[in-house]
Every structure is written in structure tokens, then in C-alpha cells.
Amino acid sequence: MELIERCFNEHNKALLKRLIATDFTIEQAMQLLPEIELALRISCRKTSEFQTIARLFSQYPHEASKSVNTHALAIKVGIDAVQVATGVRAIAPLLLQIYAENNHKRALAAEEMPQPQALSDVE
């Protein structure tokens, strides 16, 4: 969940640009983005961050709605559900990229940690 929060805090402008590029007004994008973040954070309570983000790429609406219920979100923010779904799909690649970069950094950090000594090396 902390990764989702960081994504939306640190990459807010890039996420907004992606929404605006899919015909959202600035006001709509600024209204929708925090709601998408909240939906993703709630989803992360039930499953992994990766699965939450990966579901956004599903061609099956019922699967994608496990991460973000676009119909409920549309009603909440007063934007057409198809447009909300388009916006969610527009930001999904950036979220996945950020997730992958974060995991790469974690893997590099793990490699730098001292490895435990093998039992055969201990006298």
C-alpha cells in the first residue's frame, strides 16, 4: 500500500498528464486521481500491490473492477464510467513501471546486503 501512496505523491504530475491526454479536464483529472489512489490502496489491503496493478490491464471488466470499480467511481465523481475506465487504463502502465523500478531497487539493495555465512564455514 505504501508504494501506491508514493506513486501518487511522487508522480502526481505524470499521472495527471496521462489523464488529461485522454480528454479529461484538469479539474476532472484532479478530482479523479485521489479517488483512484484510494480505490487502489483499499484493493492492496486484500491482495498484493502487483496483483492490484496487474488487474488494471485485464480485458475483463469484472477482473479490473476488483482493483478499481469504475462504475462506482464514476457515480462518486460525476464522470462517465467509460471515461473513468479509459483514465484508469491510461495511468496503469505508469503504475506498473514505477512498481517494476521499485522492485529492481529492492533487488539491488538485497544484493548489497552481506550474505549469511554458510554453516560449514563456521567452526
In a domain, 57, yes or no: yes
Domain assignment present for 49 = yes
Q: Flag whether 119 is in a domain.
A: no
Tell me if 18 is assigned to some domain: yes
| pLDDT over threshold 60, residue 119 | no
- Per DSSP, helices labelled H in 47-80 are 49-55, 61-64, 70-77
Q: Do the domain assignments include residue 35?
A: yes
Is 115 within the bounds of a domain?
A: no
The 3-state secondary structure of 38-56, one letter per residue: HHHHHHHHHCCHHHHHHHC
Tens digit of each residue's pLDDT (9 = 90 or more) over 23-52: 999 999 999 999 999 999 999 999 988 899
Domain interval for residue 50: 2-108
Q: Specify the number of domains making up the chain.
A: 1
113: in domain: no
